[in-house]
Amino acid sequence: MASQDITPVGKDSAKVSLLNDPKFRGYIFQAVAVLVIAGLVYWMVNNTIANLQRANLASGFGFLDGRSGFDISSSPYLAYSSDSTYLQALWVGILNTLTVAFAGIITATIIGFIIGIGRLSHNWLIRKICTVYVEVFRNIPPLLVIFFWYSGVLSVLPQARQSISLPFNTFLNNRGFFFPAPVFGEGAWLAGVGLLVGIAGTFFVRRWAYKRQMATGQQFPVGWTSLGLIVGLPVLALAIKGFPLSFDYPVLGAFNLKGGSQVGPEFMSLFLALSFYTAAFIAEIVRAGIRGVGKGQSEAAHALGLRAGPTTRLVVVPQAMRIIIPPLTSQYLNLTKNSSLAVAIGYPDLVAVGGTILNQTNRSIEVVTIWLVVYLSISVLTSLFMNWFNAKMALVER
Amino acid sequence: MAFDSCVNGRHIGPFFRGAWGAIRQYDFSSVGTMGINLKGQIVMKNLVLKGALAASALVLLANAASAATLDDVKKKGFLQCGVNTGLPGFASPNDKGEWSGFDVDYCRAVAAAVFGDPTKVKYTPLSAKDRLPALQSGEIDVLIRNTTWTLSRDEQGFDFTGVNYYDGQGFMINSKKLSGINSALQLSGASVCVQAGTTTELNLADYFKANKMEYNPVVFEKVEEVNAAYDSGRCDAYTTDQSGLYAYRLALTAPDDHIVLPEIISKEPLGPVVRQGDQQWADIIRWTHYALLTAEELGITKANVEELAKGDSPEVKRVLGQEAGTKLGTDLGLTNDWVVNIVKAVGNYGEIFDKNLGSGSPLKIARGINAQWSKGGLQYAMPIR
Ligand SMILES: N[C@@H](CCC(=O)N[C@@H](CS)C(=O)NCC(=O)O)C(=O)O
């Protein structure tokens, strides 16, 4: 009615506007949504528990103390045998997952930065090659990339007897890559001390050089000095002790090369595939990050007399990093999760080992729970670290 | 429950039919997605999504295992039989997707006993890893897939109903590449290909440990991957049940280069499995096996079963349900002519063996310990009376 339309501001109008108040309605809708979701979760949890109990499915994690009874092909950090427990087997799987994820992240980042910067190169050929790389790897499912390395490249390498020998007593055959293992003799600890001193020295040299440059404008070759310290001191230490270091070389045994250290084709193909695959995405992120830095920034740097190298290193990249890091985090998480494709080529990662345990013990609920918790923890930790890194790189107002 | 169809629905995506053998086995429709796969397990391709949906998966997991399997099967109108993904002689599909093999004939025998029609079977191919969860979740009615009867499996909520094939684990090597080797005891230092989630994997560890030998296990989840790895020379030896070795040998690039070593390192009694807690259904599977054996003992064959049913040997008549007032079949929940239906459909035990594994097959496996007890073997049927 017309008279209501012109009701002056008062108690009545406040009542009406409460229902029409978008904020109030927003609260109502959110409350309803929360209730619905909570009800759904409650129903699911309840139903699950009832069903599991009926089927005698869930029975706790006590079984993890049992003897595993199976062997695992690759356990670089822990002494594992079929006499170890299921829990130890899981640890081997977790460490293998972490190893391949960590190694993959490092390599993917390096390749990704090279390709990403290459895509912005002034050189036509480099630019095109990098574009082709990105388009190829970005558009193939990671599983296929893994198979490409495993079935297409590594399994067609020669047999042990015809191993390809490479420099420094390293060998390559269809059982993996073999290299001499260092055997440290008495007194080799001094080399470790040398290394620590070298690292500490580098730290101080950097600080000193920075201060000096700030004060006098003079530069100091920090890179070379650091390298000299980190490599030189341990070598010097070894020399003092008369080189207490020998190598265990791989030699041909009855079936395969024996001795030395070895990286199996399963690890290699997974590592290479994850690195190459994820690098394509990282390259795009890097390109976008660099593009995101205003042209004026490098022009200003040039105007100040900085050459191309320092301009990129000191002006463009630090600013680009702020754009790069958040999406980079997602790629790291993706790589870690994609490492679960290991199961397809028999690399004993968390999923593969867990799968075996699941099957031998028939504890599906427990094993699935462990999988979820472990991957979630790895992802959360990675995110936390990257957030910290991001905060550190963020623009600091002075 | 509304979600039933998710568990029992067939989620077999289009298989990638490429030239690349190993790749072919992957179901690309599920890469990067989360779902319940055809075995009622969680597809583990993308772990984050997996996390998000795991809870709902758990809800679905346990509801299908109802007690009266026979009624369920009759209501459905077919038997859902869990078989191997492809083990020539035991269960393998041909180009047209028709299944055949020793275990498959057991599925058909059960269908014949229940429906009088051996074609009323649907097959669920299951890897070593997926087979028992599939049975547990109720996705299949019975698992007939070279599965070893062990105490722990028996105690995990399953029931083995008999042993349709007595097997043992062995090793196969490429005798051309490893010419000096003629015993498994010479395998110290070898890389051995083995499938995950099998008793094989455990026996292997025990055997090398007991003999103080070293080895490097190369473990895959899918048998195609194991085969491909062995064929490409990734491993020196292949270990599994001996019957499996003979079957896979024929699929290698050059079968004649490969020999099966004489050692048998374990007992592998293979038999059908059902969920625990359904006596009637377990009895039907158990007595189907005995019916096949009894038919062989009494000389009842696919060819002569109908004629013998009209004959006058009291024992044969009893077994074939022709005895006046007999209730043997109906007491089991079937019809009284169930044995006739079985034998008419698939033949007797001996016929099934010969056709799929023995002289009538490329495998040419001898009856050995799988002969009738009266011929020095271990196969012994309880009397049908
Ligand atoms: N009898 C053993 C092994 C049975 C088994 O799974 N054998 C392998 C190799 S012969 C197989 O059939 N694999 C086929 C598949 O997983 O698809 C057991 O029950 O654990």
Instruction: Name the β-bridge partners of A251.
Output: A258
* Ramachandran category for residue B333: left, alpha or beta (phi over 0 → left; psi -120 to 50 → alpha): left
Ligand 1: does its nearest atom lie under 6 Å from the Cβ of B91? no
pLDDT at B143: 97
* Closest Cβ–Cβ partner in A44, A81, A376 for B51: A376
B219: which chain A residues are within 8 Å (Cβ-Cβ)? 72-73, 346, 348, 352, 356
User: Ligand 1: does its nearest atom lie under 6 Å from the Cβ of B92?
Assistant: no
Neighbours of B37 (CB within 10 A): 19
Question: Does the pLDDT at position B98 exceed 80?
Answer: yes
CA atoms within 13 A on the CB side of B216: 21
pLDDT at B66 over 70: no
- Residues B352 and A30: their CA atoms lie apart, in Å, by 65
Interface confidence: ipTM more than 0.90: no
Provide the CA A348 distance to its chain's centre, in angstroms: 18
User: What digits encode the pLDDT tens for the residues B216-244?
Assistant: 999 998 888 999 999 988 999 999 999 99
Question: Nearest CA of chain A to the CA of B36: how many Å?
Answer: 13
- Give residue B48's pLDDT: 37
Quick one: which atom of ligand 1 is closest to the CA of B248?
10
Q: What is the pLDDT of residue A398?
A: 56
Q: Give the chain A residue whose CA is nearest to the CA of B218.
A: A73
Measure CB to CB from residue B129 to each of A141, A359, A365 and give the nearest one: A359
Q: Are strands B237-241 and B190-195 parallel, antiparallel or unpaired?
A: parallel
Q: What is the CA radius of gyration of chain B?
A: 22
Interface of B with A in 319-378 (CB under 8 A): none
**Count of A–B CB contacts within 8 Å?**
170
Residue of A nearest to B173 (CA): A255
**Closest-approach residue (CA) in chain A for B191:** A255
CB contact under 8 A, B189 and A375: no
**In degrees to the nearest 10, what's the CA dihedral of B328, B334, B336, B338?**
-110
B128 C-alpha vs ligand 1 centroid, how far in Å?
A: 5
Q: Does ligand 1 lie within 6 Å of residue B84's CB atom?
A: yes
Query: Is any atom of ligand 1 closer than 6 Å to the C-beta of B147?
Result: yes
Q: Which of B191, B206, B221 sits opposite A256 (nearest CB)?
A: B191
Answer whether B6 touches A (CB < 8 Å): no
The verdict on B28 touching A (C-beta cutoff 8 Å) is yes
Threshold 0.90, pTM exceeds: no
Is B81 near ligand 1, meaning CB less than 6 Å away? no
The C-alpha of B333 sits at a distance from chain A's nearest C-alpha, in angstroms, of: 25
**Any A CB within 8 A of B303 CB:** no
Tell me, using a 6 A CB cutoff, whether residue B241 lines ligand 1. yes
Instruction: Output the pLDDT for position B13.
Output: 29
In the sheet with B169-174, reading across from the earlier edge strand, the strands are: B215-220, B190-195, B237-241, B169-174, B258-260
Beta carbons of B132 and A69 less than 8 Å apart: no
**Residue B378 DSSP SS3:** coil
Best mutation target, A52, A173, A255, A362, to test chain B (most B CBs within 10 A): A255
Residue B317 burial by Cβ neighbours in a 10 Å radius (0-12, 13-18, 19+): middle
Give the phi and the psi of residue A36 in degrees, each rounded to 5: -60, -45
Contact B196 A359 (CB under 8 A): yes
State the pLDDT at residue A313: 84
CB contact A263 to B (< 8 Å): no
State residue A57's pLDDT score: 61
DSSP characters over B295-322:
HHHTT--TTTHHHHHTS--HHHHHHTT-
pLDDT along chain A (398 residues), means of 10: 50 63 87 94 85 67 90 89 94 96 96 93 93 94 92 85 83 87 80 89 90 86 87 85 80 80 91 96 95 90 90 88 91 94 92 91 87 94 90 72
What lies within 8 Å, CB to CB, of A318 at 6+ separation is A393
pLDDT of residue A266: 93
In this predicted model, which residue has the larger pLDDT, B6 or B137? B137
Question: What pLDDT does B383 receive?
Answer: 94
Burial A220-243 (b: 16+ CB within 10 A, else e): eebeebbeebbeebbeebbeeeee
Instruction: Name residues whose C-beta falls within 8 Å of residue A253's C-beta, 6 or more positions apart in sequence.
Output: B189
Instruction: For ligand 1, say whether the CB of B240 is within 6 Å of any of its atoms.
Output: yes
**Neighbouring-strand partners of residue B165:** B270
Question: Searching chain A, which residue's CA lies closest to the CA of residue B225?
Answer: A345
Which of B124, B241, B242, B243 to mutate to test ligand 1, by most ligand atoms within 8 A of the CB atom? B241
Q: Which helix (H) or strand (E) holds B352?
A: helix B349-356
CA distances from B87 to A359, A381, B126, B156, B321 (A): 20, 44, 11, 25, 35
For residue B217, the chain A residues in CB contact (below 8 A) are: 70-73
Instruction: Give A215 Cα–ligand 1 centroid separation in angstroms.
Output: 74
Q: Does A37 contact chain B (CB < 8 Å)?
A: no
Q: Picking from A280-294, B32-46, B180-194, which range would have the lowest pLDDT averaged per residue?
A: B32-46
What gap in Å lies between CA B375 and CA A118, rounded to an integer? Answer: 77
Instruction: Give me the pLDDT at residue B1, please.
Output: 33
Domains of chain B: 5-66 (no CATH), 69-166+269-375 (3.40.190.10), 169-266 (3.40.190.10)
Average pLDDT over residues B312-334: 91
Q: Does A147 touch chain B (CB under 8 A)?
A: yes
Query: Locate tokens 């030998």: which residue?
Result: B213
pLDDT at B6 over 50: no
**What is the distance between the alpha carbons of residues B280 and A369, in angstroms, rounded to a whole number?**
35
Q: Which of A47, A253, A337 comes nearest B46 by C-beta?
A: A337
Distance CA B149, CA B272 (A): 9
Residue pair B246/B258 in contact by the 8 Å Cβ criterion: no
Is residue B379 within 8 Å of residue B349, measured between CB atoms? yes
Query: Where residue B59 falls among pLDDT bands split at 50, 70, 90?
Result: very low
- Give B36's DSSP letter: B
Give the residue, by CA position, lying nearest to ligand 1 atom 20: B198
The CA distance from A324 to A85, in Å, is 43
Structure-token pair, residue B22:
């190993």
pLDDT of res. B130? 86
Angle at CA A123, nearest 5°, toward A118 and A124?
A: 100
Residue A94, helix vs strand vs coil: helix
Atom of ligand 1 nearest to the CA of B245: 10
Q: Which of helix, strand or coil describes residue A177?
A: strand
Q: Are strands B273-275 and A251-252 parallel, antiparallel or unpaired?
A: unpaired
Q: What is the pLDDT of residue A55?
A: 63
Answer whether B112 contacts ligand 1 (Cβ < 6 A).
Answer: no
**Residue B120 tokens, joined:** 């009323």
Question: What is the pLDDT, as a whole number, of residue B61?
Answer: 45
Chain A nearest-CA distance from B315, in A, is 42
* Nearest protein Cα to ligand 1, atom 13: B223
What three-state secondary structure class fits A166? strand
pLDDT greater at residue B37 or residue A317: A317
Reduced to 3 states, what is the DSSP secondary structure of residue B125?
strand
pLDDT of the residue at A294: 86
Contact B63 A346 (CB under 8 A): no
- Asked if B196 and A144 come within 8 Å (Cβ–Cβ), the reply is no
> CA-CA distances (angstroms) from residue A129 to A116, A124, A137, A148, A280?
11, 9, 12, 20, 12
Whether residue B239 has its Cβ less than 6 Å from ligand 1: no
Residue B12 has a pLDDT of: 30
Q: Whose CA is nearest to atom 3 of ligand 1?
A: B198
Nearest CB to A346: which of B205, B225, B232? B225
* Token pair for B133: 């969860």
What is the signed CA dihedral for B360, B363, B364, B369, rounded to 10 degrees?
-110
B131 neighbors B70 (Cβ within 8 angstroms): no
Q: Does B189 contact A at CB distance below 8 Å?
A: yes
Residue from A56, A71, A144, A257 whose CB has the most chain B CBs within 10 Å, to mutate:
A71
B191-216 mean pLDDT:
93
Helices A364-393 and A317-338: crossing angle in degrees, nearest 10, is 180
Residue B55, SS3 per DSSP: helix
Percent of chain B surpassing pLDDT 70:
83
Residues A186 and A244 sit within 8 Å (Cβ to Cβ): yes
A162 touches B at CB < 8 Å = no
